[in-house]
Amino acid sequence: MRPKTILALALCSTLVAGCATRTSDSEADRAVTEMVKTSFKTRGQASVDRLKQDEVQALCSKYKGEPPEDARRKIEKSQQTTLRYPGSGKMMGDWREGQRIAQSGAGRQFTDDPARPAGGSCYNCHQLAPQELSFGTIGPSLYQFGKLRGSSEAIQKYTYGKIYNSDAFSACSNMPRFGHNGVLTEEQITHLVALLLDPESPVNK
């Protein structure tokens, strides 16, 4: 390779690296980068790779969860393209299964058994069935979610998509991207859709 080519390549990689660096190259940013490298260790399923941010995580961190309009649109647009719906076209499963999944807060912690399916942690943040009094309030109440909206195909699709990747609808949402991040399976999400939309579900009674 000729020196010129090498220089060009070096420039290119610098540019690429420059683009990948999301925040200004301040002292605090450098300190954080170093801490992320040195202050954590892989334990069980929770490997240090988990600290590597994807574009959404990096932008949401940078903007402290409140991205400006252009970044918001950019995130929602890119996340819309990640949405994958069940091949069968069936988006409503069994609300009873959904209730079990909604109750479980287990999954992906280094203290969790990686062989067991993750729960949806839904009650950690949302009110759903009124019988469950121990619910969190980080997210909105979903009591009567289906009663208020019906269970048309469009609503089913929206509900499925929202659980699959909440950032596709609301950038920097507090809700994990359960489907996109591979936390919940397609089948599990259909059960949660049923919990929210089935007229027989306690959520809609």
Partner 1 sequence: MRIHCLLAGMLAATLPCSALAQQDTLREIERYRQLLQDGNPAELYEARGEELWKRERGPKNASLGRCDLGLGPGIVKGAYVRLPRYFADTDRVQDLESRLVTCMVTLQGFTTEEAKRNPFSGTGAPMITTDPFSGVGQRSVMTDLVAWIASESRGMRIAPPMSHPRERLAYEAGEKLFYYRAGPYDFGCVTCHGEEGKRIRLQNLPKMTNPKDAQRAFGTWPGYRVSEGELRSMQWRMWECIRQMRFPELEFASDASIALITYLAKKAEGGTLDAPSLKR
**Contact positions toward partner 1, by CB under 8 A?**
27-29, 31-32, 34-36, 38-44, 46-48, 50-53, 56-57, 60-61, 64-65, 108-111, 123-125, 130-131, 133-138, 167, 174, 176-177, 181-183
What CA–CA distances, in Å, run from 189 to 58, 66, 123, 193, 194? Answer: 26, 27, 15, 6, 9
d(CA 187, CA 49): 27
Contacts of 126 (CB under 8 A, 6+ apart): 135, 136, 139, 140, 141, 142
Within 10 angstroms of residue 65's Cβ, the number of other Cβ atoms is 11
> Smaller CB distance to partner 1: residue 9 or 51?
51
- Say if residue 95 is exposed, middle or buried (CB neighbours under 10 Å; 0-12, 13-18, 19+): buried
8 A C-beta contact, residue 165 and residue 177:
yes
Coil, helix or strand at residue 43: strand
Whichever of 156 and 165 has its CB closer to partner 1, that residue is: 165
Smallest distance, partner 1 to C-beta of residue 10, A = 29
Least distance (Å) between residue 149 CB and partner 1: 20
Closest separation between CB of residue 137 and partner 1, Å?
A: 5
Question: Cβ 153 to partner 1, closest distance in Å?
Answer: 28
- Whichever of 46 and 83 has its CB closer to partner 1, that residue is 46
Taking the least distance from each CB to partner 1, the nearer of 24 and 88 is 24
Q: For partner 1, which is the closer residue by CB, 60 or 163?
A: 60
